[in-house]
A = this chain, B = another copy of it.
Amino acid sequence: MQKYNFLDDYSEGCHPNILNKLIETNLIQQNAYGFDEYSNKAKQLIKNKLSNKESEIFFVTGGTQANLIIISSILRSHEAIISIDIGHILGREAGAIEATGHKIISVPSLNGKLDINKIQVALDNHNIIPHMVKPKLVYISNASEIGTIYTKKELQEISNFCKRKNLYLFIDGARLAAALTSTYNDLTLNDLSKLSDIFTLGATKNGALFGEAIIINNSTLAEDFNINIKQKGALLAKGRTIGIQFLELFRDDLYFKLAKRANNLALIISNEFVKKGYKLLDTTQTNQIFLILPNILIEQLEKKFSFYIWKKYDEKHSIIRIVTSWISNEDKIQELINSI
């Protein structure tokens, strides 16, 4: 690949600390299946950030895997999920959730976020019993698919609503680090442990080779969860390989530092485009920049850089997505800015 790539936040390997720790611990014998000392320590580091004493932590390799295990483990056969129309589980996971037997109820959203009015519509549309599935789990992503984030007030409102309506709240945190280090953010991991039944903490997109932590805050949902992990083929024999990654990412808050860097770089790019008069699809809150650009400019940028053309905007414009990461090259970013 000749062109520099702003396609995503997983085009490189991992933070060097992780590789160093893999080397350092390589020949030390450990218990298999996640019962190793590194996994235990990593879980403790994460737990230290949560005051919810019920929270239990499990590690798996990826986001789709986490989503499908969580949902199939906790829902009964007739229970369904509420998600916005561009939710990752709806459009980018090859039917992973339906393959476990559950319907996802789609709700339109413009800003990538769900709110209680939208959830209420989904409930109202599913009240002909027994001819309809029963909505039981609310799925949101923070950061969202288009990089926007939830405020504490917004999340509190959804959380209260879910409790009132007897719905589970699950937050997909594939890019949670980006959300929690956004300049617009006022949420903490501890808040999430109190406001949600389950959330995930993605590492693949923030400096790990792979890895997703599943935090179950509602202890009844944690029962036998590890059997479900095994059943879906997600239990690594050498669980240490994930444990070590989270250990390094949560030692000295490296996890948040890496995400903060990605966010800052995104803001620099975003601001430069805006200065030059180009429009954003939405405010750049995390490490994804959605720009409405003339097709002519896009073609020109594509000569030097790779990025994702999100969709057509009008005859002469398209929306593109530029993603920065913990390892984005600052020289290349400068080169991009100079190319506008």
Q: Which residues of A contact B (CB under 8 A)?
A: 1, 4-5, 7-8, 10-14, 16, 19, 22-23, 25-33, 60-62, 64-69, 72-73, 76-78, 80, 91-96, 98-103, 106, 128-134, 204-205, 209-210, 224, 226-238, 240-241, 327
Q: Which of A23, A66, A230 has the largest count of B CB atoms less than 10 A from its CB? A: A230
Q: Are A77 and B68 in contact (CB under 8 A)?
A: no
How far is B117's CA from A292's CA once the two chains are assembled, in angstroms? 27
What is the total number of copies of this protein in its complex?
4
The answer to whether residues A78 and B231 also contact, given A102-B98, A237-B205 and a CB cut-off of 8 A, is yes
Contact A133 B61 (CB under 8 A): no
- Compute how far the CA of A72 lies from the CA of B232 in the bound complex, rounded to whole angstroms: 12
Residue of B12, B66, B78, B92 near A224 (CB, 8 A) is B78
Knowing A19-B19, A227-B130, say if A96 contacts B11 (CB, 8 Å).
no
Is there contact, CB below 8 Å, between B78 and A228? Answer: yes
Instruction: Known A224-B134, A240-B13; judge A233-B30 contact (CB<8 A).
Output: no
Contacts A92-B132, A100-B77 given; indicate if A62 touches B233 (C-beta within 8 A).
yes
Q: Output the least CB separation between A56 and chain B (Å).
A: 14
Q: Which of B13, B92, B227, B238 contacts A13 (CB 8 A)?
A: B238
Known: A73-B78, A77-B231, A130-B230; 4 extra A-B contacts, CB below 8 A, are A95-B103, A134-B224, A204-B238, A210-B237
Which residues of chain B have C-beta atoms less than 8 A from A209's C-beta?
Answer: 22, 238, 241
Closest to A327 in B: B27
Interface centre among A33, A227, A229 (most CB of B within 10 A): A227
Interface hub of A7, A12, A94, A128 (most chain B Cβ within 10 A): A94
Report chain B residues within 8 Å CB of A229: 130
Using A130-B94, A237-B205 as known contacts, say yes or no to A76 and B26 having CB atoms under 8 A apart: no
Interfacial chain B residues near A226, Cβ < 8 Å = 129-130
Contacts of A77 in B (CB 8 A): 72-73, 99-100, 228, 231
